[in-house]
Amino acid sequence: MNEGDIAPDFELEANDGSLVKLGSFQGKKNVVLCFYPKNHLFACPSKRVFQMAEATIAAYQKIKEQDAELFAISIDTVQDQKKFVEEYGVPYRHLSDTAKATCKAYAGLNIAGLAKRSTFIIDKNGRVSKIFRDVSPEKHGHEIISSLQNLK
């Protein structure tokens, strides 16, 4: 997938039990999709995943102010996503892609079958406007905001 491509539609269950369909935002909101491998890995426990997301969490209100919705996506189950979001007080929904189809279509999968860490900014027309493949955890929230501001 490249910048300028039409974003493939998907429907995934969120940590709150709701179904999120990308196409439902077309013409209404910009969408930010943050892919990450998993909530808990041997080398990267949940606390480390949370620490890596802190810059995005801190920027979340400003991201919303850019007329955007933000979702985190991994192969974790809905229950694992729910536990993670509740434990760390994450303000945005985490989507479960246990079938790995959405992770594969967007981020690609690593050798272990987990989503590669990356972020996709999708404009209101359903086009991929920006792809971050080398995510800098400390600066990422500001990078997302800047990309969204450039859509205007």
Is-contact 81 14, C-beta < 8 A? Answer: yes
Closest among 92, 83, 72 to 12, alpha carbons compared: 72
Q: Which of 13, 25, 38, 44 is catalytic?
A: 44
Distance of CA 21 to the CA centre of its chain: 13
Told to judge if 34 belongs to the known catalytic residues of this protein, a careful annotator would answer: no
Q: Look-up: residue for tokens 């802190």?
A: 54
Report residue 80: phi and psi, to 5°: -65, -40
Please list the active-site residues: 44
